[in-house]
Structure 1
Amino acid sequence: MQRKLTIQQLKNITLESQGLLRRSAFGKGKKAVLNALDHLGYLQIDTLSIVERAHHHTLWTRIPDYKTNYLDELVKEHQVFEYWFHAASYLPMKDFRFVLPRMLEVKQNESHYYNADPKMMLYIIDTIRAEGPKRARDFENETKKLGSWWNWKPAKIALERLFLQGDLMISERDGMQKTYDIAERVLPNDIDLTRPSSLEFAEYLVKTYLRAYGWTTVKQITHLKAGETIRKNVNDVLNALIEDDIIEKVTIEGYPSVYVLRDLVDRRITKIREEINLLSPFDNAIIHRDRVQQFFNFDYRIECYTPKEKRQYGYFCLPILFGNTFIGRVDCKAHRKNRQLELIHLHIEKQSIDFELWVEPFAEIIKKFAAFNGCNSIKLTLVSPLNNSLALLLNNIFCQYEAISAPIIAVPSSS
């Protein structure tokens, strides 16, 4: 007989599993970064820098003393590597064998979208093997000397192809500038290079999602993974875990069946801290949009890829989580030259929650986020639905913050 859980229980389980209900859930310092990555399974990399990039933002949300150099150091120490999960990601080095099937797929697929010139690939491999790690820009001038068709674009395509098929790995980073090296020089000597079977790969996915979220669905596990084989293997793994009493299949009327870790089913998370989490659009907790809409009743889509005239909320909106409820979103931009964080559009959706309950923790997290982005002043431009009391209160708080922080730009009144 299947037991039942409430939506509130599922929300609490997944937010606690994500490290969003307890301060410093993964510890402190660089070790906490590795703990968080081991637990979450991956960390999506994003190149957009409207505010601090997504991979750093996601860790900062969970690790109060996080510093952006921690990730770069872990890559250089070969404890973390870069590859694809469902997108470009950081992954714990211990999971390297589970990217081998994709690497082999790329290598065997001549029509892959990174259809690189074989001569360029051989030139790059030979150069890096002989001369040591290289950045993409190191090949720009060199390739131009070899002939008019040896230009920057083919070199970049070749590097990406060699990276995706596993011949090269990223050995270190300086911001978004990547350094490539021969894979065997990056991989630790004791790393397991056994290619997993399709069933082992399914087990890896199932256990990753269960650990990171506390519960999962078949749809989430097989997201962006086509074919009946992966779906069958995932179901076989889930059924085996049920038989071993590791997970339970739980039903909620009107929702798809979910699979919950057994030791979390009877756990009651009753006290939720009334704090604000300001999430990246690519945060692990928000990245599966259908799941968030269905179980958290929060319809979130990032609009930076939407034409300006069709945007509803803004270019780069950050979801606002209050306790276990998404109360709205805020379109932010860090004006780094002026050291000002602008809240271009603060949109509050949960009007039933008195803003006096969340306004102070929201202001506090915004001040911390401004500092994280290297800003010492805050500008609030628009609040919707229109709420003059809320806008005035926030502006007063931000003005006090600026007085302490020696602001460059004063905060104007919000309309």
Structure 2
Amino acid sequence: MHRLTRDQARRIAVRAQLLDADRPGDVVEVAEQIGPIKIDPTAVIAPSQLTVPWSRIGWSFEAAQLTKAVEDDRLLFEHAGRFYPGTWLPFVRARLGRGLLYRSTISWLDANARFRKDVLARVEADGPILASEIDDTSQVAADSDSGWRSSNQVPRMLEVLELTGEVAVVGRVGRLRRWDLAERAHPDVPRIDVEEAERMLSRRRLQCYGIARSTSAYAGVGQAGEPAEVEGSEWKWRVDPEAIAALDDDPGGRVAILNPYDRMLYDRPRLSELFEFDFVSEQFKPKAQRVFGYFAHPILIGDRFMGQLDAALDKKRETLVVSAIHEMFPFDEEEREMVHAEIRDLGEWLGVEVTGLR
């Protein structure tokens, strides 16, 4: 049983997510350590698939590096709205199948048996292919998801076939996904059984988190790693033994500005328990109820969440407009300058001027 102070637990979590002073060199290294990177079109500043690597690598990261790693080098792969490290592919593939589908989705799939065959035949004949190039021959329409989806059933069918392991995303044209048969997209993937896949995924997830609650549905680490106690916490924790071994080799902290979809923020209960940070994205709140802003980015200083940045990219004026830097805990002069420097670096990475810093 490892007994950790809260400071040690936070340092382990920060370092596992590559948010300490020792910056990684490229986007593949980032994904291998922090795990899947969420893909989301929300670009108040920049999409999450770009700001997540930037917050680790810094100014030298370019979007083209991500595209190259996915489409040319095949060191990353896209699946279910995330970019995964390539070494995760055997584990992810082993879990695919109808067992991942909801009952209602299985019913929809069975009712569209002919449509499924049509889509697979078109992908086999002409893939890689865009969803817009495939005819909608569906027999039954699915629920509309309260307006989130169009009436075209092809994208939904492709996403379902992705979960069953029959098709895969192999690239993008802008925001549009290019699809191919999974066996062509990822040939020669080693076969492993589901139990082994789950064990390996649990270990890799713990590596990504450093420390996590064993029963957390967000982290999914199960009994991987070793048991730990954290000072002042009654939770039962699991900790990565390699993270424990590296505790004395501390490169120090820095300022990091995190996209709201960053993996560091995903496990909200852990965020509250270890960091005393109750993060709520206000994206879907009425404007009058927002405190920190529509798409505020949390600010990490060292191993504490100290503030939130309310800023937006004005593409027409080519400026990053800072509406507010909310100090949840008062910054000292050095901290404020470090935060301002990181915001200026963000503007430089975006290729725009920064206005509103004060």
**Higher RCO by CA contacts (8 Å cutoff, separation 6 or greater):** 2
Partner of 2:146: none
User: Which stretch shifts more, 52-61 or 162-171?
Assistant: 162-171
Q: Provide the C-alpha distance between the structure 1 equivalents of 2:6 and 2:64, rounded to a whole number of angstroms.
A: 38
Measure the CA separation in 2 of the matches of 1:92 and 1:270. 26
Distance across 2 between alignment mates of 1:194 and 1:349: 47
Per-residue displacement from partner, 1:172-216 (whole Å, max 9, x unpaired)?
123322100111111042x2133322xx24422331232123222
Q: SS in structure 1 opposite 2:45?
A: coil
Q: Deviations over 1:272-326 (max 9, x none)?
A: 34x3211111112122111111111111111112232322211101001111111
Q: Could you say what secondary structure the match of 2:281 adopts?
A: coil
**Secondary structure of residue in 2 paired with 1:130:** helix
| Equivalent residue for 2:233, pick from 229, 236, 254 | 254
What corresponds to 2:165 in structure 1? 166
Q: 1:261-276 maps to which residues of 2 (within 5 A)?
A: 261-265=240-244, 267-268=247-248, 272-273=252-253, 275-276=254-255
Q: Is the counterpart of residue 215 in structure 1 residue 211 in structure 2?
A: yes
Distance 1:372 1:192, change over 3 A: same
**Whole-angstrom distance in 2 between the partners of 1:295 and 1:123:** 51
How far, CA to CA, are the matches of 2:199 and 2:44 in structure 1?
37
Counting aligned pairs with the same residue, the percent is 22
Secondary structure of the corresponding residue to residue 263 of structure 2: coil
Query: CA separation in 2, counterparts of 1:183 and 1:345?
Result: 46
- Cα distance between partner residues in 1 of 2:101 and 2:290: 41
Q: Give the secondary-structure state (helix, strand or coil) at the position aligned to 1:304.
A: coil
- Structure-2 separation of matches of 1:63 and 1:254: 32
Rounded to whole Å, the distance in 1 between the matches of 2:280 and 2:40 is: 16
Cα 1:105–1:123 shift into 2, 3 Å: closer
**Structure 1 residue matching 2:153: 3-state secondary structure:** helix
Secondary structure of the corresponding residue to residue 285 of structure 1: helix
Residue 17 (structure 1) aligns with? 16
Residue 100 of structure 1 deviates from its aligned partner by 3.6
Q: For 2:19 and 2:28, how far apart are their aligned partners in 1?
A: 17
Task: Tell me by how many angstroms 1:224 deviates.
Answer: 8.3
Match of 2:202 among 196, 199, 206: 206
User: Which deviates further from its counterpart, 208-217 or 333-342?
Assistant: 208-217
Paired letter, 1:41? G
Question: What is the deviation of 1:379?
Answer: 2.8
Task: Indicate the residue corresponding to 1:299 in structure 2.
Answer: 278
Aligned partner of 1:196 in structure 2 is 194
Residue identity in the other structure for 1:261: D
5+ unaligned residues in a row in structure 1: which ranges?
Answer: 226-230, 242-246, 381-393, 396-415
**Alpha-carbon separation, structure 2, partners of 1:92 and 1:3:** 29
Return the TM-score normalized by structure 1. 0.75
Which region of structure 1 is more displaced relative to structure 2, 96-105 or 73-82? 96-105
For 2:76 and 2:30, locate their aligned partners in 1 and report how far apart those are by CA, in whole Å. Answer: 12
Rg bigger for which structure? Answer: 1
Q: Quick one: which amino acid aligns to residue 194 of structure 2?
A: P
Answer whether contact 1:106 1:164 (CA < 8 A) is retained: no
Establish whether residue 97 from structure 1 lines up as the match of residue 96 from structure 2: no
Instruction: Return the letter of the residue paired with 2:347.
Output: A
Q: Structure 1's 108 and 323: CA in aligned 2 closer, same or farther, altered over 3 A?
A: closer
Q: Say whether the 8 Å CA contact 2:37–2:263 is kept in structure 1.
A: yes
User: 1:12·1:269 contact (CA, 8 Å) conserved in 2?
Assistant: no
Task: Give the whole-Å Cα distance in 1 for the aligned partners of 2:133 and 2:276.
Answer: 49
Confirm whether residue 7 of structure 1 aligns to residue 1 of structure 2. Answer: no
Partners in 2 of 1:365 and 1:301 — Cα distance? 23
Partner of 1:341: 320
Q: Give 1:124 shift.
A: 1.9
Task: State the Cα distance separating 1:270 from its structure 2 match.
Answer: 6.0
Map residues 104-143 of structure 1 onto 2, 5 A cutoff: 104-105=97-98, 111-112=104-105, 115-116=108-109, 117-139=112-134, 142-143=135-136
Q: Give the CA RMSD over aligned residues.
A: 2.7
In 2, are the aligned partners of 1:248 and 1:262 still within 8 Å (CA)?
no
**Alignment coverage as a number of residue pairs:** 344
Tell me if the contact between 1:209 and 1:216 (Cα under 8 Å) persists in the aligned partners.
no
Q: Counterparts of 2:338 and 2:263 in 1: how far apart (Å)?
A: 22
Partner AA of 1:13 in structure 2: I
Q: Distance in 1 between matches of 2:314 and 2:91?
A: 40
SS of residue paired to 2:308: strand
1:48 CA displacement: 0.9
CA distance in 1 between counterparts of 2:18 and 2:126 reads: 43
Counterpart AA for 2:162: F
User: Following TM superposition, by how much is the alpha carbon of 1:345 offset from its aligned partner in structure 2, in angstroms?
Assistant: 2.8
What secondary structure sits across from 1:331 in the alignment? strand
The 1:358–1:171 alpha-carbon spacing in structure 2 relative to 1, beyond 3 Å, is: same
- Which position in structure 2 is the counterpart of 1:47? 41
Question: How big is each residue's C-alpha offset from its partner over 1:244-269, in whole Å with a ceiling of 9 and x where there is no partner?
Answer: xxx34334233313222335436336
8 Å Cα contact 2:77/2:83 also seen in 1: yes
Q: Distance in 2 between matches of 1:377 and 1:168?
A: 43
The aligned runs of 1:344-363 (5 Å cut-off) are 344-351=323-330, 353-354=331-332, 356-363=333-340
Q: Could you tell me how far apart the structure 1 residues matched to 2:251 and 2:156 are?
A: 51
The residue that corresponds to 1:81 in the other structure is 77
Contact in 1 for aligned 2:19/2:256 (Cα 8 Å): yes
Structure-2 change in CA distance of 1:271 and 1:73 (3 Å) = closer
**Residue 407 of structure 1 corresponds to which residue in structure 2?**
none
Q: CA deviation at 1:342?
A: 1.5
